Structure 1
Amino acid sequence: MALGLVLAGSLVAPAVALSQAPPPPPGPPHGPPQPAVISVTGQGMAQVAPDMAVVSLSVTRLAETADAALAANNAAMREVMAALKADGIAERDIQTSDFSIYPHYSPQSSDSSNEPSPPKTTGYQVTNTLTVKVRDLQKLGGLLDRSVKLGVNQGGQISFTNDDTKVPLTQARRRAVEDAVEKARTLAEAAGVKLGRIVSLEENADLPMPIRPAPMMRMAMAKEADSVPVSGGENTYTVNVFMRFELAP
């Protein structure tokens, strides 16, 4: 009987001890307080004249058979490529960007029983497209003119760009950050606070949109003039930044 009392007492004692342990102190509900910040956006732009043009030139030929259309297209394209190289365009600046062969069909007709007859192949169209980088813009108008006379009958899209965009983008970045810092200082002064360290800085750069003259209009002008009139204008490089500043205590 004494042994049973000792075992019962040992089982009850831990439960009493646990019930008397103090609960842990409550912690902050949402972590440490976040520092106050000012968020601003800044924009910087840099304008620079283009020093290069990217031109799309296409040769399209139609014939009764695919072989005949391909042969005619190849002959015209060889002359165009030879003329480009004779004008000083380097091999690395001439790239075939598209090639296609499409059949042409006769319109669908119906017989006396109003049953539609299957379309018949009437010929084939072969198109070969070159993308050409013209690094001497003074040659651009004459190059377009000679290309059309040698057989280019589609394309003519022009994108004016810069071979090295590092300098204008660097200028735009500096101006964007300066714009953002000036805005942050103005806001802090108006609010009666002081700026602290930069918390974050993000950038978004926009390259210039290509200038594209109407292609078919340019092709028509080239047949009547000594050279196609072109104007490069200026390219605008834009950089946007998003900055967050802590407020000084």
Structure 2
Amino acid sequence: MNRLPVILAALLVLLAGCSSAVPVQNASAGDGEPQNTITVGAAGQVTAAPDLAIVNVAVEHTADTAEAAREGAATDANRMRAALRDAGIPDDAVTTSGFSLHVQYDYSRETREVIGYQAVHSYRIEVTPDRAGEVIDLAVGNGATSVYGVQFGLSEERQQELRAEALSTAMENARSDADTIADAAGVGIVGVSAVSTSNAPVYTPSPVFAEARAADAAGAPTQIEAGDVTVRATVQVTYETN
């Protein structure tokens, strides 16, 4: 009877059990001497107030002809942009996010009937969070007919600052985990062999939606409250042990 397959199977089971039981890995050093390492993954995060608000609005105009609808939307959009400009909001902070011109039908009869055309010009307006409500009132009071929502986030510079803090926290967490593993394995950490990370997204709270309406007779402005945003970073660190 050939017992070689049975012996090989037993050896594979033994090796599998050994590799999953010990968190300390053996690697080959450059000089041929064995090198003990521990590899851990960790995350860090920082929460802060946003410094950017994105207000999404649209100008809509309906008319009997496509040209009249387009022209009406253009007139209202120019009026809205002029009002924002007069309020100190630069032109490069107001950008087009979408434009559509479509026919409208009446389906109440046996055959559909053209009843008009609608042009919709959507805009993305970037301001500081404290001006979000003001921008809504300016837009609605000067041609905008819809407010799709307000999103809070971070400027590129602020993202980088908070990401650096999150990475520092992640490294601290990685070292803490590695120390715990090393103590349990009866070894000591003597250095860092390798570190890697990846780009991390900025997590924002759910968008804040505001009702599109002009200020009432009492002049009550739209109030928008900003929630915090969180930047998260992850690292993977390989430590050398003795």
Shorter chain as normaliser: what TM range?
0.7 to 0.9
Give the drift of 1:223: 4.5
**TM-score, scaled relative to structure 2:** 0.76
**Quick one: distance in 1 between partners of 2:105 and 2:37?**
68
Would you say 1:126 and 2:102 are equivalent positions? no
Q: Judging changes above 3 Å, is the alpha-carbon distance between structure 1 residues 180 and 193 closer, same or farther for their aligned structure 2 residues?
A: same
**Quick one: distance in 2 between partners of 1:63 and 1:186?**
71
**Could you tell me which residue of structure 2 aligns to residue 154 of structure 1?**
146
- Opposite residue 226 of structure 2, the aligned amino acid is G
Aligned pair count reads: 206
Contact kept, 8 Å, 2:97 with 2:123, in 1: the verdict is yes
Alignment of 1:52-201 (within 5 A): 52-107=52-107, 109-110=109-110, 117=111, 119-135=112-128, 137-163=129-155, 164=157, 165-201=159-195
3-state SS, counterpart of residue 219 of structure 1: coil
More strand by share: 2
Give the drift of 1:133: 1.1
3-state SS, counterpart of residue 192 of structure 2: strand
Give the drift of 1:240: 1.5
RMSD: 2.2
Contact kept, 8 Å, 2:47 with 2:230, in 1: the verdict is yes
Deviations 1:49-84 (A, max 9, x none): 222211111111111211111121111111110011
3-state SS, counterpart of residue 150 of structure 1: coil
**Could you tell me which residue of structure 1 aligns to residue 202 of structure 2?**
207
Give the drift of 1:201: 2.1
Contact kept, 8 Å, 1:66 with 1:124, in 2: the verdict is yes
**TM-score, scaled relative to structure 1:** 0.74
**Quick one: distance in 1 between partners of 2:205 and 2:75?**
31
**Quick one: distance in 1 between partners of 2:201 and 2:187?**
33
Identity of aligned residues (%): 25
Structure exhibiting the larger radius of gyration computed from Cα positions = 1
**Could you tell me which residue of structure 1 aligns to residue 17 of structure 2?**
none
Q: Where do 5+ consecutive residues of structure 2 fail to align?
A: 1-25, 29-34
Contact kept, 8 Å, 1:142 with 1:226, in 2: the verdict is no
- Opposite residue 153 of structure 2, the aligned amino acid is T
